[in-house]
Structure 1
């Protein structure tokens, strides 16, 4: 049996497809970011004051997934920092991964050289440690909060308010915030105190078009794949499929990378268009699995309520979903969240693409929200069944 593993290792070590997968990773930041020169210049003009030891304005960066927001931010800050490492530091935190205020503050403290227990400190004590750690740096600290909307929707904007007010409490260092979000309405939903403290500059990233995506893929493919492995037709197909999905460069790169991995597993010498279509199916399945698996528990219960209600073979209303959800919580002996929170969860599931929730006008009966599944019912149940807390509660 060990020869199976030996064969797998040998195939990867002498891959007929890849020269280096490193260049296809979603978090790889290349030396050049084509078609984002305008955004680089605009963000650089805002953050350049850090090289003089002055705190730049807070910045909010908006744009759909895969439009280069994170890559441009890291590119600009890395290049500025290389030129003036003694004047400022920057800390990057992904607020979807570090998904609590405690974890965000702890990550900042630890990146700046401090120490924090995994749990156990009060928010007030953690904030005091953050303040001391930042002050000890004795220079400007630029704090990048990526996917900030995920944190705010779950925990509110109190942490953002504390961070925007931290300069009042600092005697030596200064903090500037770069917020990155897919939600263009995020700032409008913040508490007025937070909006006032932010005083932010806004930057909007447009989606890439098919021609731009094709150029990006060609540049990456030239260093990631072996010569002659990827044709222009394959690259054009990846670009066209990603351009349909709001110009998502990350999606285009994932399609090409996974298509290469499928060709490699099959022992092929080139990547073909059928590999791209197989990659699209595989990526969609894996993406939905991860989205559903990482949902908070009550969000899983709301999704399960929609799955149960979908047996009726018609659209559901928020009220109907709430009633099914309450039945599930009673079955589990749990306290229900409010109907308003369930409505918010429905909106979040809609945003994630797991369901569709559209407002329709029913004439004299007023407006209501119609809810349908966007993903196969069986696939959702398979993922939900991985959570032991949900075993045996659906029919």
Structure 2
């Protein structure tokens, strides 16, 4: 019989060596982060380089900000502002400017005691009519709850004072303590009736009705900011926008204005004409930044983000130059600067240098490729994997037929549907548009035309991402498929 039985005397066991080993392990664990913390940090406040940060000043966007303020100022007079559509490519300051103006609007409304609220929805995440309406409904239900609780506190105080001195009611809407009591009872009943919307499960018309009642509970002007509005229309059509844009004709107490933010200048082409006319009452276009403007933005943020004398002179101009090539994308410029700082910090250097920016550029580009490849449909992944297998075997200027032959074998191996060669050609074109491959149509004379395909991304890293997919990873040994291509 394996094992042992019987009593064991602890004194017979050698615990000292284990204790020594444990002590060494503890010492090693303690030193792990101590070593990393020894170097001087480069960042003062890294958060100002993130897209979520709303700066107190937005250089080179004064005109757009003033246009928004001119349109929205009517909310501070208790009137309904025109709906606004904001256009511009990624990283042109649309969302940051809109949030900046919204914060100023809410601050000023509190100053002048005008009920005005702004609600932000990211339609890339909240991308269906149900989710948008549910999220808005729950936000207003929460606000109404706080409004009622504050009102109950005021009325309770008034009731107590009026019970001792009825003159306390002279400048109020109440003629007796009983009237105050009735209002308290009514508000308490309202508070109990508020029913939060679950994120699934209700009919859409019930969600809309709940949202409508929550918004209209008391007098206020509401600006609903729909960021990435084109994603909502792409996923769910324009029903949400239709419902929101016609609300004001039915509301009794409140007024609603829509501020839509889009990267796609043409998304309104797909809208119902009635929605399009009401939604696009005012349009503001954000042009791309040039290299000089990007440099100003980076300089402004760097003064807050980094400790003094930690950036070499060529870091900000280089970040600006790289981002200017990417259609003037300030978000890309800020990502570059932050990543360069992180690489310098990890390397325990005291300053951020040009080399850190160039490494950051490579890292960000690789991260982008990895994310794009990871989210490709399975069929596109198989087409890309076929291209990679050919390149790994020394084939250059790969043609569509060669890719298709390897693709067919891969599909058979994992029991996936085999698409037609024409459809595979379309998938290659899509990969070309994404910048993953470079596909050029070349003439073969009397043999017709074909596409010559080459990878535009790092081979090994892209292959690793593809093989991490559960379906593509089923291909255990692809070498025979490629070898067959040479044997034929």
Q: Which residue among 360, 368, 377 is the counterpart of 1:300?
A: 377
CA–CA separation in structure 2 for the residues paired with 1:314 and 1:190: 42
CA–CA separation in structure 2 for the residues paired with 1:198 and 1:271: 46
Q: Which residue of 2 aligns with 1:93?
A: 121
CA–CA separation in structure 2 for the residues paired with 1:387 and 1:154: 25
1:6 aligns with 2:88: no
Deviation of 1:141 after TM superposition, in Å, equals 1.3
Kept in 2: contact 1:112–1:137 (CA 8 A):
no
1:104-160 CA-partner distances (Å, limit 9, x unpaired): 222222332353323222322222222122112531211111112223223322222
CA–CA separation in structure 2 for the residues paired with 1:345 and 1:73: 38
Matches within 5 A, 1:295-374: 295=375, 300-308=377-385, 310=387, 314=398, 331=415, 353-354=435-436, 374=456
Q: Which moved more, 1:153-162 or 1:242-251?
A: 153-162
TM-score calculated relative to the size of structure 2? 0.67
Q: Which residue of 1 aligns with 2:290?
A: 209
1:274 aligns with 2:355: yes
1:165-189 CA-partner distances (Å, limit 9, x unpaired): 2323422222211111111111122
1:330-370 CA-partner distances (Å, limit 9, x unpaired): 94589x9xx99x979976x77765567899999xxxx9999
Matches within 5 A, 1:49-198: 49-85=74-110, 86-114=114-142, 115-198=196-279
Q: Which residue of 2 aligns with 1:236?
A: 317
Kept in 1: contact 2:385–2:466 (CA 8 A):
no
Deviation of 1:389 after TM superposition, in Å, equals 5.7
* Cα distance change on mapping 1:60 and 1:273 into 2, 3 Å: same
Q: Which moved more, 1:223-232 or 1:161-170?
A: 161-170
CA–CA separation in structure 2 for the residues paired with 1:20 and 1:277: 22
SS in 1 for 2:223: strand
**Structure index of larger Rg:** 2
CA–CA separation in structure 1 for the residues paired with 2:262 and 2:440: 23
CA–CA separation in structure 2 for the residues paired with 1:368 and 1:124: 53
* Cα distance change on mapping 1:187 and 1:272 into 2, 3 Å: same
Deviation of 1:258 after TM superposition, in Å, equals 0.7
Kept in 1: contact 2:84–2:283 (CA 8 A):
yes
Q: Which residue of 2 aligns with 1:392?
A: 474
1:43-67 CA-partner distances (Å, limit 9, x unpaired): 1111111111222111111111111
Structure 2 alignment gaps of length 5 or more = 1-27, 143-195, 391-396, 479-488
* Cα distance change on mapping 1:130 and 1:275 into 2, 3 Å: same
CA–CA separation in structure 2 for the residues paired with 1:98 and 1:344: 28
Kept in 1: contact 2:340–2:356 (CA 8 A):
yes
SS in 1 for 2:370: helix
Deviation of 1:383 after TM superposition, in Å, equals 3.3
Kept in 1: contact 2:298–2:316 (CA 8 A):
yes
Kept in 2: contact 1:135–1:171 (CA 8 A):
yes
1:48-97 CA-partner distances (Å, limit 9, x unpaired): 11111222111111111111000110011110110004421111111112
Kept in 1: contact 2:428–2:439 (CA 8 A):
no
Deviation of 1:380 after TM superposition, in Å, equals 4.1
* Cα distance change on mapping 1:155 and 1:332 into 2, 3 Å: farther
Deviation of 1:291 after TM superposition, in Å, equals 4.2
* Cα distance change on mapping 1:306 and 1:204 into 2, 3 Å: farther
